[in-house]
Chain A
Amino acid sequence: MNALQDSLLELIRRTSTEIPDDVHHAILRSLEEEKKGTIAESAMKIIDQNIALAKNKSQPICQDTGSIIFYVDCPIGYVQMAFEEAAREAVKLATKKGYLRQNSVDSIIGKNDGTNLGPGSPTVHFHQHRSPDVTVRLVLKGGGCENVGAQYSLPNEKLKANRDLDGCRKAILDAVLQAQGKGCGPGILGVCIGGDRATGYEYSKQQLLRKLDDRNPNPELDKLELDIVETSNKLGIGPMGFGGKTTLLGTKIGVLNRLPASYFVSVSYMCWAYRRQGAALDGDGRIQKWLY
C-alpha cells in the first residue's frame, strides 16, 4: 500500500468515527440548553454518548456513511489520476473494515456490489493552486439529510420571497420548516445564493467545509447566517423534531453570480453527525497535520 492510500484510509476512518471539535462544542452547548427531563434532552444525551462510543470503538458515528466527497487542493503538476486511484483503493478497504457501509447502489438494476465504487462514488473535486501544498478534505454526507436539501427559484409567490436577501431568508427558513427532524437535527445548513441548479447545490455543500465558529467576511451574509440560526431555534422543532430549543447548530452561506433570468437559493442540510475532516499531506502523501 502506498503512503497516499494509507493516509486516505486513515482520513476516511477518522471522518467516519470522530466528530470534529467545532461541531462537538456546538453539540455540547445544545445539550446544556435543552430543558432538563424533556425528550429533546434525552436525544442530545444519546447523541453525546454516541460520539464518545464511536471514537472509542473506532466505528462509524452513523451507519449511513453517506456520499463520499473529497475536496483536493493541489499544485500545478499534481497527478490527479493517481489520487483518484488511491482514493478508490482506500474506499474499498475502508468498506471492508466497516468504516464505511456498503452504500453504493446501481440506480437502474438496484445492485449493490459491496465495494462503494461506481459512477459518482467516490466523488473528487480538484482545485489547483500556486502553492506546493496538498490538502485533502473529506465530507461523508448521509442520505437522510441529503434528502431534505432544497432548491428555490425566486421569486416564489407562495413564500412571498422576492429576489433579494429577505427573499433568500424566507426560502432558507422554509427549508428548515419543511425538514423538521427528518434530516437528523440539530442540523447545519450550507447555502448558496446564485449559480445554476448544479453549481448552486455543489457550492452549498462546499460551505460545509467552513468551521462552525468562523464568521462570514461579508457583513450582510454574516448577519443573515446568525439570523437564520437564531430564528430557527425559536421555532421549537428541536433535536430530532421532538420539540426543543436547538433546531440548527449553524448556517454558512456562499454566493455565486447568476444569470439575469435565474435566482436560485440552494440549501444543503447536514445532520448533527457532521462527518468532515481534512489533512495536509507531504510530497509522499503522508499526513502532516489535521485540518479540523
Chain B
Amino acid sequence: MISLTTPISEEKIRALKVGDEIAITGTLFTGRDAVHKYLHEGGKLPSSVNLKDGILYHCGPVVIKDEQGNWKCVAAGPTTSIREEPYQWQVIRDFGLRGVIGKGGMGDKTLQACKENGCVYLHAIGGAAQVLAQCIKRVRNVHMMEQFGAPEAIWEFEVENFPAVITMDSHGGSLHKEVFAASQAELAKYL
C-alpha cells in the first residue's frame, strides 16, 4: 500500500504504475457529470475550489445535516467515470489535477492527458459506499449546491487512508485496455 497526501507532486505521480494499491489522505473535491460539462463549456470554479496538484473524485454522495446542522456524509462510493471521457482531458490540463478517482476506467483521451500532464486514474471500489464514507473524516464545504443539486455538487471532503487502485498511470499504462483485450481474446475461444 502506497500513501499519497494532497497536494501531490508530479514526481510522486510519475512513480506510480498500474496495479499499485494506494491510500489517500488530505482533500478530495467531488465533481461528476454536471461539473464536467460546466467546466468544458467555460464555466468558472468558485474561488475556494483549488484543484491544482489535487484529486477530483467522481462521486455523488449521500450527505445529510445532523442535529447541529453540520453536514454528515453517510454514503460515498465512486460513480462510473467513462461519462466524463469527452471532458476529462481538458479538466486535467486546465486545472492541474494529479489524480482522478472513479470507477470503470476511462478512455484514450484521458490516458493521453495523464501522460502529458502527470496525472493518474485511481479506481475506487464501486458500490463500497460505507467503507469509503468511513474514510471521510469531515465535510469541509459544498459548492454549487443550488445550481447542480446534492449528488452533482462539488463537495469538499477531508479524507484519511481512502483506498484505491491505480488502473491508468502517467506512462500510458491502462489495466482497462489490458483486461478488455485479454477477455475479448478469451471469449473468442468459447463462441
Residues in A lying within 8 Å of B, measured CB to CB = 39, 42-43, 46-47, 49-50, 53-54, 57, 59-65, 97-98, 100-103, 105, 110-112, 114, 142-144, 147, 160, 170, 173, 177, 180-182, 184, 231, 234-238, 240-243, 271-273
Contacts and interface: CB of A to CB of B under 8 A. Distances in A.
A211 B82 CA distance: 31
Interface in B60-96: 60-62, 64, 74-77, 79-80, 82
Contact of A114 (B60, B150, B176, B190): B150
Nearest to A247: B183
Name which of B21, B125, B191 has the most chain A CB atoms within 10 A of its CB.
B125
Given A147-B80, A177-B184, A177-B187, A65 B62 contact: yes
Contacts of B105: 180-182, 241
A63 B62 contact: yes
User: Chain B interface residue count: which class?
Assistant: 35 or more
B38 to A, nearest CB: 11
Residue of B75, B129, B148, B184 with highest tally of chain A CB at under 10 A = B75
B13 interface: no
B34 to A, nearest CB: 7
B149 A184 contact: no
A34 to B, nearest CB: 13
B60 A236 contact: no
Nearest to B182: A236
A184 B105 CA distance: 11
B110 to A, nearest CB: 14
Contact of B176 (A46, A61, A180, A273): A180
A147 B61 CA distance: 19
A63 B126 CA distance: 10
Contact of B75 (A59, A182, A235): A59
Contact of B127 (A50, A101, A173, A177): A50
B127 A182 contact: no
B39 interface: no
Contacts of B15: none
A98 B130 contact: no
B164 to A, nearest CB: 10
Nearest to B131: A50
* Residue with the highest number of chain B CB atoms closer than 10 Å, among A53, A54, A181, A271: A181
A98 B74 contact: yes
A42 B123 CA distance: 12
Interface in B152-191: 152, 163, 165, 167, 175-176, 178-180, 182-184, 186-187, 190-191
A49 B132 CA distance: 11
Given A61-B129, A236-B183, A101 B191 contact: no
B36 interface: no
A184 B165 contact: no
Given A62-B75, A62-B77, 19 more contacts: A39-B21, A43-B165, A47-B125, A47-B128, A50-B129, A57-B74, A62-B127, A63-B77, A102-B150, A112-B149, A144-B79, A180-B105, A180-B176, A180-B180, A181-B104, A184-B103, A236-B179, A236-B182, A241-B176
